Amino acid sequence: MLTLLPAADRVATPWKNGGGVTLEVMAFPQGSSLDDFDWRISIAQVASDGPFSHFPGIDRTLCILDGQGIFLDIGGRLQKLNQRSMPFRFSGDANASARLLNGPIFDLNVMSRRGRVEHRVLRLGGGEGRAAEIKANLAIALWASDAGDMLTPEGGMRLGPLDAVLCETPGRWQAAEGGLAYLISLGPTG
C-alpha cells in the first residue's frame, strides 16, 4: 500500500533547543515526542548559525535540500554540506553546530534510536543513480525537485516538491529522469 505524505499537510514545530522550527514528515510511534520516538523524518529551515539539538542515543543523517549549504562542526571535525553532497550520517550524542555558507538552508533530517531501529538514506537522481533496490519492509521517498514521478515497489506516484510517499513493500524504487529524491529505509536493529 502506498501512502502519500503531502508537504502541504505538515505543521511547523519548535526545535528541541528552541533555535528554529521543523516540519515533521513522519515519526514512529505516531504521536511520539522528541524524547521518545523510535525514528523521525523532518525538514528544517536553518536561518542562522548555531548549535544543533543534542539527541543522546540517536543516529542522524542530514541532507541539504535548498540553499548554499553549511559547515557542520561535529566535536571539532568540520564537514561542508551542500545540495550536491551525499547524505551525511553522524551521532546525535556529539556536540554539533552549523555555520551557514551564504544564507538560509532547508535540510532533511533522518533520526533513529540506536539499538532499536537502523536507517539508511540514499540519493536518487541529481547526478547519482536513479534507482535502488530496498530490502526493508518500510521505506519513504522524499521528492526534492520540481514535480515528478516516483516508481515504488507498488506502482508509480506523481509527487510535488517536498511531498513524500511511504511504501511497506520491499523492492525497486526509481526517480523519473531529471528528478531528485531521498530514499529512506527503516528496519529493526540486527
DSSP-derived secondary structure for the chain: -EEEE-GGG--EEE-TTSSSEEEEEEEESTT--TTT-SEEEEEEEE-S-EEPPP-TTEEEEEEEEESS-EEEEETTEEEEE-TTSPPEEEETTS-EEEEESSS-EEEEEEEEETTTEEEEEEEEETTS-SEEEE-SSEEEEEE-SSSEEEEETTEEEEE-TT-EEEE-S-EEEEEPTT-EEEEEEEEE--
The CATH number of the structural domain formed by 9-113 is 2.60.120.10
Parse the chain into domains and list their residue ranges.
9-113, 117-188
- CATH topology match: 9-113 vs 117-188: yes
Architecture of domain 117-188: Sandwich (2.60)
What pLDDT does 19 receive? 65
What pLDDT does 17 receive? 66
State the pLDDT confidence band at 18, using cuts at 50, 70 and 90. low
What pLDDT does 178 receive? 87
pLDDT, tens digit (0-9, with 9 covering 90-100), for 40-85 = 999 998 888 998 888 999 999 999 999 999 999 998 999 999 999 9
pLDDT, tens digit (0-9, with 9 covering 90-100), for 31-52 = 898 889 999 999 998 888 998 8
What pLDDT does 165 receive? 97
**pTM > 0.85:** yes
